[in-house]
Structure 1
Amino acid sequence: MLRNVLFRYCLLVLVALPIGFLWLYPQVLWCLRVSKSADFQLLKGADEVYVSRSATKKQQSLLRQHTQTALNRIRCFWGDRRGRAILIYCPTQANYEQYCAGGEGAGCSVGTPWGTSYLVLGPDGNDIDVIAHELCHDELFSRLGWWRVKRQIPQWFNEGLALMVDYRFSNPSVWEQPDSATQMSAGLGETTITAFTHQSMVKLADLETTRDFFGGDYFHTMLAYRTSADEVARWLAVVGRAGVPALTSAISNGRDFAETYRRLERSKRRNKQ
């Protein structure tokens, strides 16, 4: 009798968990159903890229070019590509808000605990840097898993790493210059930097979680991005591009992030002496 009760209870929990998850995050349900949506279609000449039928031919052509360039950038940065995220391009804000909670920013990542990942691009997301940024998040999730990234990887590293392939915030010379010189960026614009002069940089210890990183106002978030980009760029300048897959490989084998992050840097410095 007790065994039957426990079985029914466990079965109820297994059924309720995914339903509760989708109820709390309805954008995940929209993403899961995008292939069946009459409002979206597969982008010709691209794998697993869905584009709104309201997108113009020019927008579709640019999306195809930008996605390919971003994918090449990811392969160059990581050494290969393991991510299999599905891209969804929403050229209107109304569509974007439906597929991305809050509808803020140029793009967002929507992941599920069971491994499916979506990269949603908003009206301003048809851009090489935005796509490469989101693809880098997906690459980290693919190599370590959703749970491990959420539980073990500090948000400053997750974002800082994505900013290394996002030339709005970083310079490709930090690791390599895979694209043409026209893609180079010295970092944040002068106007943005001027706005930060009255504020101090954020401590990495205060950027551990998603709430820490994005929980403040606009200036806090931009400072968080700048702090993260500076730290990961500094680390990469020491360990080199090979340090990224070395770090994720160690963590996937059970190593601690903070200890491995410091160990790789110490080891590289010793070898240079």
Structure 2
Amino acid sequence: MKIFRYIIISIGLFLVLFTWFFPQFFRCFFVEYDGFKEIRPHIFVESKTTKKQQDSLLRFVLQAEKRLVDFWGRKDGEAKILFCNTPQTYQKYAKTTEGAGFSIGTPLGSWIILNKDGLNTDVIAHEMCHDELMTRLGWWKTKQEIPTWFDEGLALMLDYRFVSSQDSIQRYIDYRTELSYLSPVPIPLNKLNTQKDFFGQGELYTKIAYFTSAVEVSRKISMKGKKEIFRIMNKTEKDGKFEF
């Protein structure tokens, strides 16, 4: 009986701690009981979503998946996509009203939360890239070793909202030009390592942070190709330490 009691206490403690660190996990995990329906494996929409919106979402997801495969070589990530049809629902799941999309990664599953503004290929591909990185490296190593600037800069390589050129050198030049419009000096990368650093300084600072990150990642790709990104990731996975 004591062993059984210890097991129950351990499970209870685990659930409390898990909920503390990942407060959205249980809401996302049981999304089908909160007014969502599954329209394709891993794709859920709020019940108020129209047929036209559903068709658009499926089309954009397919386009984003193709973009992901073109960059990564294959798709390993299996994040569930939740499309929220109202700002209130989006805030309930993403815990914010900002942005068109939001990724939630936990050791037991990942989710991509979209609002109406996220109904496009760029936002979905951006969030899928976050999930792909975490899937390949693992949740713990991604959270402990991968700086936010690298994660966000990499996601912008699949996001064509700001720079659309597919040529790696031109993409780097265009991002550098966009950054120069916002700030004559990029933000030092060591000040963009955490999400709090990256997103906690105001809207303009965050935008500069995005372009600073995109410049660094696109510069590396323009010089050595995408294989350099995979080399960095493989070394991080093997040695447990990120080096850019």
Coarse TM-score class (shorter-chain normalised): 0.7 to 0.9
Query: In structure 2, what is the Cα distance between the partners aligned to 1:247 and 1:131?
Result: 24
Q: Partners of 2:64 and 2:239 in 1: how far apart? A: 30
Query: Matches of 2:21 and 2:149 in 1, distance apart?
Result: 25
User: TM-score w.r.t. structure 2 length?
Assistant: 0.88
Q: How far off is 1:150 after superposition?
A: 0.8
Q: Which residue of 2 aligns with 1:233?
A: 218
Structure 1 gaps, min length 5: 177-185, 262-273
Aligned: 1:207 with 2:192 = yes
Aligned letter for 1:166?
D
* Equivalence map 1:104-253=2 (5 Å): 104-114=98-108, 116-175=109-168, 196-197=182-183, 200-253=185-238
Following the alignment from structure 1 to structure 2, what is the Cα–Cα distance between the partners of residues 52 and 241?
Answer: 37
**Superposition TM-score, scaled by structure 1 size:** 0.79
| 1:31 equivalenced with 2:24 (yes/no) | no
DSSP 3-state at the match of 1:257: coil
Provide, for residues 44-91 of structure 1, a one-character-per-residue CA deviation record: whole Å limited to 9, x for no partner: xx3310011111111111101100000000001001111011000002
1-side partners of 2:205 and 2:159: how far apart? 19
- Indicate yes or no: 2:96 matched with 1:102: yes
Return closer, same or farther for 1:51/1:131 CA change in 2, 3 Å cut-off. Answer: same
Residues 154 and 145 (structure 1), Cα distance of their counterparts in 2 relative to 1, 3 Å cut = same
Letter in 2 for 1:59: Q
Counterpart-to-counterpart distance in 2, 1:92 and 1:27: 18
Residue from 61, 83, 92 that aligns with 2:86: 92
CA distance in 2, matches of 1:110, 1:89: 14
Distance 1:63 1:164 in 2: 21
Give distance in 1, aligned partners of 2:176 and 2:15: 40
1:82 correspondence with 2:67:
no
Query: How do 1:2-81 and structure 2 match up within 5 A?
Result: 8=6, 12-23=9-20, 25-37=22-34, 39-43=35-39, 46-81=40-75
SS of corresponding position for 1:87: strand
Counterpart CA distance in 1 for 2:88 and 2:67 is: 30
Asked if the contact 2:22–2:106 (Cα under 8 Å) also holds between the matched residues in 1, the reply is no
The structure with the largest alpha-carbon Rg is: 1
Which secondary structure does the structure 2 equivalent of 1:64 belong to?
A: helix
Note closer, same or farther for the CA distance 1:16–1:156 as it changes in structure 2 (3 Å cut). same
Separation of aligned partners in 2, 1:77 and 1:29: 32
Please tell me whether the aligned partners of residues 79 and 128 of structure 2 are also in contact (alpha carbons under 8 angstroms): yes
Equivalent pair of 1:165/1:172 in contact (CA under 8 Å): no
Matched position secondary structure for 2:37 = strand
Which blocks of at least 5 consecutive residues in structure 2 are unaligned? none
What CA deviation, in whole Å up to 9, does each residue of 1:164-215 have, x standing for no partner? Answer: 0001133342449xxxxxxxxx56998x975x25x64211110011111111
Q: Percent identity?
A: 37
